[in-house]
Amino acid sequence: MGLWTIRRAEHRDADALSRCIDSAYAHYAGRIVDLPPVSADCADEIAKYQVWVAETEDGIVGGLVLIPEDGFMRLANVAVHPDTKGAGLGREFMMLAEAEALTSGYRELRLTTHSDMPENVGLYEHLGWELTARQGNKVAMKKAI
């Protein structure tokens, strides 16, 4: 484990998680004009889905959103604050996503990312994800677990 604690998100975390997600995606905002509002529904997601936060003494530094779907677990969002980038939190979130999917009875994870985030596609491929479709600005990927 890193310098953070990962725990299930609580309603009181919604604003801090939203700010963290906005910070994590800020470097994309200048180059991706059609980037969806990735932090818009944190409170709703915490109430409905499996949402995890990574917390340090300074506050929330990362978040993971998992949504159970018919036959697979969707990795809806994984975000790491830029100040924590490169410390291994993203990889720890990905391992948590796999473990939670298996615990919930799923053998497959899926995600959708933006075509203007090729570094993310490369990272996911490095972690064993398979590209399944490209449509417009969306890149669909899956991973058997």
Mean pLDDT of the chain: 92
pLDDT for the residue 1: 43
> What are the residues facing 39 on neighbouring strands?
none
Token pair for 66: 């998992």
Residue 141 in this model has a pLDDT that exceeds 50: yes
Q: Are 82 and 27 contacting, i.e. CB atoms less than 8 angstroms apart? A: yes
Token pair 């890193």 is found at 2
Token pair for 5: 């604690």
Q: Are 81 and 62 contacting, i.e. CB atoms less than 8 angstroms apart? A: yes
Phi then psi for 141, rounded to 5 degrees? Answer: -140, 160
Residues across the chain: 145
Domains detected in the chain:
5-144 (3.40.630.30)
- The reported pTM is 0.93
